[in-house]
Amino acid sequence: MADFFSNKHVWITGASSGIGEALARELAARGAYLTLCARRESVLNALREQLPNAEHHRVLVLDLAQPEALFEQVRAAAAGCEVDILINNGGISQRGRADETAFAVDRRVMEVNYLGSVAMTKALMPKLVAASHGVVATVASVSGLVGSQGRSAYSASKHALMGFMESLRAEMHGKLQVTVACPGWVHTQISVNSLTASGEPLGKMEPGIANGLSAEACARAFLHAIARGRDEIVIGKGISALAPTVKRFLPAVFKRMNRKRAYR
């Protein structure tokens, strides 16, 4: 039987690093035609050249922090193309107590993680609906299910994204598949690129991230969930992936734990 992703046209945001890069490598190996999106053109071009059938893939430089311009750019770039699957993966995290964090950081994280993904989704929606089995797949986070310390802006942006996708799933039932992944700690550059309270990159690989799931394992689990038509999947190992279950079934335990640590 042909692989679910074989000959599908897939757009991936955040393809230049981490989970997005791992998704691109896995999808290219499985015969998909990719549009690789992020800001760093040279990194995307280098990735494209390493992929099997490089000539099947293209690079689109875009900035998720400019949602209005992004909408127009993506509409234009998709004209005349088929699009079967959009993977909203590009994003940025944040580290810092809410009362110490500049509004500019709250705004930036919300623009990149939430409005950028909403703009991508709206821009490609006509194409996805026209596809025989269109999919909007989104990398949210365990932080989209539980709030944790030092992550107020990040957690808010991922909760917003999950709310948007849940509404979309109900509205587009029968026309569009909407799948959301909620990873716990995954070994990528996420903490290095996180914004501190003043908006500077943290520049540090945190131990939880360094010891997290590999980006490749996360990508494979997400693609499996997409191919199976799942609505939502938590991906990860250890406490970072267990937090939503503990919150649901043992809320008092969760509350105590949550005062002590961050999960993602």
Ligand X SMILES: NC(=O)c1ccc[n+]([C@@H]2O[C@H](COP(=O)([O-])OP(=O)(O)OC[C@H]3O[C@@H](n4cnc5c(N)ncnc54)[C@H](OP(=O)(O)O)[C@@H]3O)[C@@H](O)[C@H]2O)c1
Contact residues: ligand X, CB under 6 A: 13-14, 16-20, 38-40, 43, 62-65, 89-93, 112, 139, 141, 183, 185-186, 188-190, 193, 209, 212, 264
State which residue, 45 or 189, has the beta carbon closest to ligand X: 189
Position with the least CB separation from ligand X: 18
Distance (Å, rounded) from C-alpha 38 to C-alpha 43?
A: 9
- Cα→Cα distances 251→142, 159, 247, 257, Å: 16, 18, 5, 10
Distance (Å, rounded) from C-alpha 120 to C-alpha 132?
A: 19
State which residue, 45 or 193, has the beta carbon closest to ligand X: 193
Q: Least distance in Å: CB of 2 to ligand X? A: 28
Q: Least distance in Å: CB of 94 to ligand X? A: 10
Distance (Å, rounded) from C-alpha 157 to C-alpha 171?
A: 21
Contact 106, 197 (CB under 8 A): no
Q: Least distance in Å: CB of 113 to ligand X? A: 6
Q: Least distance in Å: CB of 8 to ligand X? A: 21
Helix crossing, 251-260 with 239-249: angle to 10°? 140
Q: What is the CA radius of gyration of the chain?
A: 18
State which residue, 127 or 151, has the beta carbon closest to ligand X: 151
Distance (Å, rounded) from C-alpha 182 to C-alpha 169?
A: 16
Q: Least distance in Å: CB of 15 to ligand X? A: 6
State which residue, 193 or 246, has the beta carbon closest to ligand X: 193
Residue 260, exposed/middle/buried by CB under 10 A (0-12, 13-18, 19+)? exposed
Helix (H) or strand (E) holding 85: strand 85-88
Contact 263, 146 (CB under 8 A): yes
Tokens found for residue 180: 């959301």
Catalytic amino acids? 154
State which residue, 109 or 131, has the beta carbon closest to ligand X: 109
